[in-house]
Amino acid sequence: MRLHVADHPLITHKLSVLRDERTSSQQFRSLVEELVTLLSYEATRDVRTESYELQTPVAKTTGLRMTDPVPLVVPIIRAGLGMLDGFLKLVPNVEVGFLGMRRNEETLQPETYAKRLPENLANRQCFALDPMLATGGSLVAAIDFLFDAGAVDVTAICIVASPEGIERMREAFADRNVTVVVGALDEGLNEDGFIVPGLGDAGDRLYGVAE
C-alpha cells in the first residue's frame, strides 16, 4: 500500500475552513467538492492511458487518452457521495458504483446496507471515495468488495485520515496494489473513534444529523 499526503497550501487552506465548526453545510459541501477535485488530480497520476494520432489545425501530433475499460469510481454513501461531483468534474469519463456503509457507533464496526457494483472488475482501475478514514474498518471492507469482484488496482481518496486507519490499511493491503491519497494525516482517534482534530461527523456536516 502506498500513502500520499497532499502537501499544498490550497488544500490546507480549504481544509482549515472545512474543519471549522462554524462552517455551514452549504459551504462544507462546496469545499468538499473543491478539495476532491484537487486530491483527484494527484490520485489519477497513474490512470491508464494510450497514445493516438491526431491532427491540430497546424500539424499531426500524438495525443493521450484514457484506455478502455474506463475506471470505476465508488463513493461510500453517505459522506462519500459528497465527493462524487468533485471527482467527476476532473474525470468525467468513468463509471460509478455505489456502496452504502454505516459505522456502528458502539462497536465501530462497519455495516453494509447497499451495494451496487459491476459483477466483474477484472482489469479495472477503481477509485473509492470517503472523506474520513478513522479506524479504517469501512474503507478496508469497501476495498475488499472491490478486490472480491476482481479489481487489481484501487486508489482511495480521503480528506482526513488517522494514523490508526492508515496502519489498518497497511496491514490489510500489504501486498495489494492500493494507494491512499489524503488531504491531511491527523493526530489520532478519540475514545469515540472520531478523528482528532478532524472535522466531526462528515455525513452529518454534509447532510444533517442521521438517525
Ligand X SMILES: O=P(O)(O)OC[C@H]1O[C@H](OP(=O)(O)OP(=O)(O)O)[C@H](O)[C@@H]1O
Ligand Y SMILES: O=c1cc[nH]c(=O)[nH]1
CA angle 122/138/165 to nearest 5° reads 105
Pairwise CA distance, residues 103 & 6, whole Å? 26
Beta bridge partners of 205: none
Residue 11 one-letter amino acid:
I
Residue with smaller CB distance to ligand X, 70 or 85:
85
137 binds, among Mg ion, ligand Y, ligand X, none (CB under 5 to 8 A by kind): ligand X
Rounded Cα–Cα distance for residues 125 and 74 (Å): 11
Is 131 annotated in a binding site? The answer is: yes
Cell numbers that stand for 90 in this block: 476532473
Task: Classify 209 in phi/psi space as left (phi over 0), alpha (psi -120 to 50) or beta.
Answer: beta
Among 24-32, 121-129, 136-144, 180-188, the segment contacting ligand X (CB under 6 A)? 136-144
Segment near ligand X (CB under 6 A); pick from 3-11, 19-27, 127-135, 143-151: 127-135
103 binds ligand X (CB under 6 A): yes
Residue nearest to ligand X (CB): 203
Question: Which three cell numbers, joined as nine digits, stand for 26?
Answer: 452549504
| Grid cell digits, residue 168 | 489498518
Which residue in this structure is represented by grid cell 447497499? 114
CB of 82 to ligand X, least distance (A): 9
Per-residue x/- track, 44-83, ligand X (CB under 6 A) = --------------------------------x-xx----
Cβ proximity to ligand Y: between 150 and 193 the closer is 193
**Annotated binding-site residue numbers:** 78, 103, 130-138, 195, 200-202
